[in-house]
Structure 1
Amino acid sequence: MGNFTETKENLLKLGFMCGVFVLATAARGDWLLVVVYLFRDYLQDLFPVSENEAKTDHVISLSRWRLQNLPLFIIFSVIVSFTMFWGMAWSWQWYYYIKRRDKSEEWKCQPNKFLSPKDERHEIMLGSLNMLLGSVASGIISCYIMNGGHTTLYYGILDRGLLYFLLSIPCFFLWIEVNAYYFHRLFHNPYLYKKVHKIHHRYHQPTAFSTTAMHPLEFTLHQSYLAIVPFVFPLHVGVFITLLLYVYYYGMCDHSGIKMDALWPWQPSSMFHDNHHRLFHVNFGFNSFLMDWLHDTLDKADREYGEDVFGGRGRPVKTGSR
């Protein structure tokens, strides 16, 4: 009986993790890109582009940019993204924030503290707007790749040698981590914080919908340093997709408001970023402690933080203030 219960719990955890992966890729509109990058050759054989299609002026124009059938890609990307994101996010919301609301001390990073209905509506609308932007961009890039557009991703592990393949893993991770930290910290500059990033910090108790609920400029910037990689840096498609899903997964966990332990020793728990929303100008990293450790911007018990305390290092704590 004990083994059965343990197996059931492990299967539920695995299912939950898979659900978070789906939710994360849908939230950023990149699910279609993942499919296209993984199965590009197969899909191109399955849905070949006919040269006879380029007969009308608008098709000729799209063909010049390798964007045949672009409207279909965009419509498909948007519809499926919204279906997956709203479906998964609302099921998550129902299971935790509605069904177990009276037991928040068991699962919530900030027990008994919830967003106001007004802020909940705001994060859903803003997050959906950014998901729409991401879905359209994903549809355009996917269409370009499917029509034979240039990409630096390669598919054979030994194409560039085993050493290159192995070194590309930490290099790509550091590329993501460094960009995420410095761009995030840039938006905590007093001027940019008040004009742009404060929108995201409106959600003091973040939920899954908060993941993409930010100023569209900020959303676009964070997506750009990921989207540029397949067109500039030679990278194995498996490395690119795996790390992309990895950072998306933890981005969703970090904003869930739900207590989640890290799977890896360098990875902070969900409390780390939840504390960023609670304390404001501290804990800027997403996928590891590395950059915060290097810049001394980790949350410390002997410091106090607040929306008016910029710089990432807080100020000496006053007795009873935390």
Structure 2
Amino acid sequence: MNFSDAQNTTGYLWIDSRKFCRNQWKSVLNWSRDDEITIYFWIPVLLTSVPYWLCNLPLLVMDMTGKPSFLYQFKIQGDQHKITWSQLKILFPVVLLNQLITIITLYGFYLICLWKGSISYQIELPTLFCGVMEFASFVAVEEILFYYGHRFLHVPEVYKRIHKMHHQWKAPCSMSTFYSHPVEHIISTMIPALTGPLIFGSHILVAYIWFTVIVLNTVNAHSGYHFPVIQSSEAHDYHHLKFNEMFGVLGILDHLHNTDTKFRLSIQCKRNQTFFSLTPIRKLIPDFNCKRPKQE
């Protein structure tokens, strides 16, 4: 096969994949009967709830039992105690309350979509380039809103009244993702997640992908585990441990504002990478390989 044949084959595959995606999306629209409350509200509710619980329940079992041990060994703060039933009784009501707030906020998203009319659900899908650019824009908006909103929550008076609740978990677990004051949940979770699609007028399918990814990423960041292949959660785990560094998602604004200076010197920074080994990264990069920052 020469270069020209390879180009033609790639072109055909791309055209076929676009047709496939379009047909699948058409099936979704047929299933929903073009009902806007289903498209703008109920599907986002499913995409933010189902992945949350599918990821959290197995991790919760691990956090409570320490089993299976071959997965539990990937715990970042390995010296921390397992979650107890008494902690779970405190955790669950707050999580369920914030899930209710998520649903109410998503209903507001639905109303804005109807009012603004800029988020399309037409059969014709955006090109791959447009979809990627929209998604990248959502990431940038989230980084800005989350970072500065998070810094605001660390203002002493605000922290004492609102954010301190979330920081009760110095060693976070995946369920603690939604363990926060309702005001914080709106500021740190809902507004950064929903603003990008509303600003840029994305196709709703791109927003669906974004909602799913942001839930999975947030759960991973709070999971307390650093598994092989999966994106590292060391940075946000470090924030819970040390309190006053690593406020952002990507780390770009932390670097710009020098809120990562101690993190860059820490063993957690050395481990803040995706790895491909069945040996925990705590063993691949032991504590003595890096000078640890002084305890606050």
Q: TM-score, normalised by structure 2?
A: 0.65
Structure 1 equivalent of residue 237 of structure 2:
274
CA distance change for structure 1 residues 101 and 187 in 2, over 3 Å: closer, same or farther? farther
Alignment map for 1:82-161 (pairs within 5 Å): 89-100=56-67, 106-114=73-81, 115=83, 117-139=85-107, 141-142=109-110, 150-154=116-120, 155=122, 156-157=124-125
Structure 1 equivalent of residue 180 of structure 2:
214
Give secondary structure in 2 for the equivalent of 1:153. Answer: coil
User: 2-side partners of 1:240 and 1:123: how far apart?
Assistant: 29
Give secondary structure in 1 for the equivalent of 2:33. Answer: helix
Structure 1 equivalent of residue 30 of structure 2:
42
Structure 2 equivalent of residue 195 of structure 1:
161
Q: What amino acid is aligned across from residue 239 of structure 2 in structure 1?
A: H
Structure 2 equivalent of residue 179 of structure 1:
145
- Unaligned runs of 5+ residues in structure 1 are 1-36, 49-65, 303-316
Stretch deviating more after TM superposition (93-102 or 194-203): 93-102
Structure 2 equivalent of residue 295 of structure 1:
257
User: What's the CA shift string for 1:45-87, capped at 9, x where partnerless?
Assistant: 27x6xxxxxxxxxxxxxxxxx979xxxx88xx69x98787556
- Unaligned runs of 5+ residues in structure 2 are 1-24, 267-290
Q: TM-score, normalised by structure 1?
A: 0.60
| The one of 222, 236, 239 aligned to 2:203 | 236
User: What's the CA shift string for 1:155-194, capped at 9, x where partnerless?
Assistant: 5455xx8875554332221111111111111111111111
| The one of 168, 172, 182 aligned to 2:134 | 168
Structure 2 equivalent of residue 225 of structure 1:
192
User: 2-side partners of 1:186 and 1:291: how far apart?
Assistant: 14
Give secondary structure in 1 for the equivalent of 2:253. Answer: helix
CA distance change for structure 1 residues 232 and 42 in 2, over 3 Å: closer, same or farther? farther
Q: Is the 8 A contact 1:67 1:144 kept in 2?
A: no
User: 2-side partners of 1:194 and 1:149: how far apart?
Assistant: 37
Query: Greater helix percent: which structure?
Result: 2
1:272: how far off? 1.2
Q: What amino acid is aligned across from residue 151 of structure 2 in structure 1?
A: R
CA distance change for structure 1 residues 167 and 124 in 2, over 3 Å: closer, same or farther? same
Q: Is the 8 A contact 2:265 2:293 kept in 1?
A: no
CA distance change for structure 1 residues 116 and 191 in 2, over 3 Å: closer, same or farther? farther
Structure 1 equivalent of residue 224 of structure 2:
257
Q: Is the 8 A contact 1:283 1:297 kept in 2?
A: yes
User: 1-side partners of 2:192 and 2:292: how far apart?
Assistant: 40
User: 1-side partners of 2:248 and 2:26: how far apart?
Assistant: 28
Q: Aligned pairs, how many?
A: 240
CA distance change for structure 1 residues 260 and 272 in 2, over 3 Å: closer, same or farther? farther
User: What's the CA shift string for 1:238-280, capped at 9, x where partnerless?
Assistant: 43333332222111011111123575xxx6x111111111111
User: 1-side partners of 2:168 and 2:206: how far apart?
Assistant: 35
User: 2-side partners of 1:84 and 1:167: how far apart?
Assistant: 24
Give secondary structure in 2 for the equivalent of 1:283. Answer: coil
Q: What is the identity percentage for the equivalent residue pairs of Structure 1 and Structure 2?
A: 21
Q: Is the 8 A contact 1:260 1:271 kept in 2?
A: no
User: 2-side partners of 1:39 and 1:135: how far apart?
Assistant: 25
Matching of residue 285 in structure 1 with residue 248 in structure 2: yes
